A and B are shown apart, each in its own frame.
Chain A
Amino acid sequence: MTTILQTEKLRVEYRSREMRQGTKLALRGLDLEVGAGEVFGFLGPNGAGKTTTMNVLLGFVPPTSGSASLFGIDVRQPIARQRIGYLPELTYYYKFLTAEELLRFYAKIFGLSRAITDQRIPELLKLVELESAAKRPIKSYSKGMQQRVGLAQALINDPDLLILDEPTSGLDPLGRMKVREIIQRLKNEGKTVFFSSHELGEVESVCDRVAIIHQGELKALGPVAEITGTHANLEKAFLEIVGFQMQPAS
């Protein structure tokens, strides 16, 4: 299986704003490998280092040491991002543009031809059910609609790897179902999906493999069934791995 995403001994240190604290270690030698066609769940409690890992993968934050690559290309090179789609946790786009204009702008950055763009935009707007609002400025959209625009922009270049940072956060049950459907569809098309989520039931239902990270360290990595092991579900396994002690009911 071809490796699509790889990190080797990835370490990220942030300089703390308070001098007394010195530096804060966000990632401590993270080793990950995601193969082509996999749906990979990246889990961890808040502050575990999930978003930092994604920020390194997208070239937003330089690693202190170690390396990260997408499609075998160092993430610091912009060309590494040519075949990826990214949906941030909080989606904010140019509010003065319409959804159609936004997608056209991103298509230009990916270097898509006008013919492909003209074909792709209606397809995506249909997929995320925003056809009727395509010509309205994004500032008039609801939160769920903005999230759907985010999903459409992440798919504009027909990416081989989709990086989703808590894609269902803030969505209603219908919106969540739609995102799950899209992930499943991409999986069927042989695309690779790397996503973080706190919705462990959702992860269990769509992921091939998961990694659990805690305090910047990789705690578990493997197929969902293997991680779940003898536990009732992934959530129980997750809580044990991150060292959460269940309090007995009084």
Chain B
Amino acid sequence: MRNIFAVAGVVMKELYRRKDFYVLFIVTILICVVMASINIYNDANVVRYLKEISLDLIWLCSLVIAVTTTARQIPAERENRTLMPLLAKPLTRAELILGKFLGCWLACGLALLCFYVFFGALAASREHDLRLLNYVQAAAMHWFMLGIIVALSLLGSLVFAAPSSNATICFVIIGGILFVGRHLDQQALKLHEPIRTVVYVLYFIIPHLEFYDMRDLVIHNWPLVAWKYIGLALGYGAFYMGVFLIGSCLVFHRKPVN
């Protein structure tokens, strides 16, 4: 664990010192501020639209941060030749992968925390009401979804050599899962065998990221979701993170370092 935390610490330090990370962060906050300051016709429902748009921006930004930062981790180590002095130490490749994952996931978590705190404060100032637990549930689910995405991008970075191609493929997969994945079972019913089975299998093996979309809970101030379902969803996310990380370790184990 010591080595994993040491690697994670360096990953976080790098992200903290990289300017592009800040650019995304500042742009999102600025947009949120602008959106929150608009008040059309003094309509109370406008706050909900503003919340929705702000949350969409937070989702988009967190997704970009998660994929772009993770996609370059291992390729950058290879390209900058920092991998050799690192693996010449008593550090296993699995520890390196887990450290990279943990660093990226924690960094995404910190960014998310800032986003939600900022957004929550803005929304509360407009609505004069703060449903803290709604934000906690939404943020926790969002963070676990980013965990799945970080693990998936890490696996992709070991399969595809260029970070740009990996990031593009990851965005396509994640977009596909978010927009199409939930409808695959219904689509399968309209198809003939054997395509139907293939689509069904696909429906059951993909991680259903839409489970983690709890924006409506925050936007409409709906009642809390039962914690046992939140727990199940987090367990489901942890399972997929584990699957992708084991896959990453197996792929990386067979790769020559030089």
Tell me which residues from 77 to 104 in chain B have a Cβ below 8 Å from any Cβ of chain A. Answer: 80-82, 84-92
**Interface segment, one of A16-24, A90-98, A126-134, A228-236:** A90-98
**Interface segment, one of A27-35, A75-83, A180-188, A208-216:** A75-83
State the interface size on chain B (CB cutoff 8 A): 24
Is there a chain B Cβ closer than 8 Å to A141's Cβ? no
Is there a chain B Cβ closer than 8 Å to A40's Cβ? no
Residue of A nearest to B9 (CB): A105
Is there a chain A Cβ closer than 8 Å to B13's Cβ? yes
B82 and A94 contact, CB distance less than 8 A: yes
Taking a contact as CB atoms closer than 8 A, the residue among A78, A92, A153 that contacts B90 in the complex is A78
Q: How distant is the Cα of A168 from the Cα of B119 in the complex, in angstroms? A: 55
Interface residues on A, range: 20 to 34
Q: How distant is the Cα of A88 from the Cα of B9 in the complex, in angstroms? A: 24
B89 and A109 contact, CB distance less than 8 A: yes
Is there a chain A Cβ closer than 8 Å to B3's Cβ? yes
Q: List residues of chain A with CB within 8 A of the CB of B257.
A: 55, 60-61
Is there a chain A Cβ closer than 8 Å to B10's Cβ? yes
A109 and B10 contact, CB distance less than 8 A: no
Is there a chain A Cβ closer than 8 Å to B45's Cβ? no
Tell me which residues from 92 to 124 in chain A have a Cβ below 8 Å from any Cβ of chain B. Answer: 92-97, 101, 105-106, 108-111
Contacts A78-B91, A93-B85 supplied; 4 other A-B pairs, CB < 8 Å: A88-B88, A91-B85, A92-B81, A109-B2
User: Which residues of B come within 8 Å of A, CB atoms?
Assistant: 2-3, 6, 9-10, 13-14, 17-18, 80-82, 84-92, 256-258
Q: Would you give 25 A-B contacts (Cβ < 8 Å), ordered by A? A: A60-B84, A60-B87, A60-B88, A60-B256, A61-B256, A61-B257, A61-B258, A78-B92, A81-B89, A81-B90, A84-B88, A88-B84, A90-B81, A92-B85, A95-B80, A96-B18, A105-B6, A108-B9, A109-B2, A109-B6, A109-B86, A110-B89, A111-B90, A153-B85, A163-B88
User: Which residues of A come within 8 Å of B, CB atoms?
Assistant: 51, 55, 58-61, 78-79, 81-82, 84, 86, 88, 90-97, 101, 105-106, 108-111, 150, 153, 163
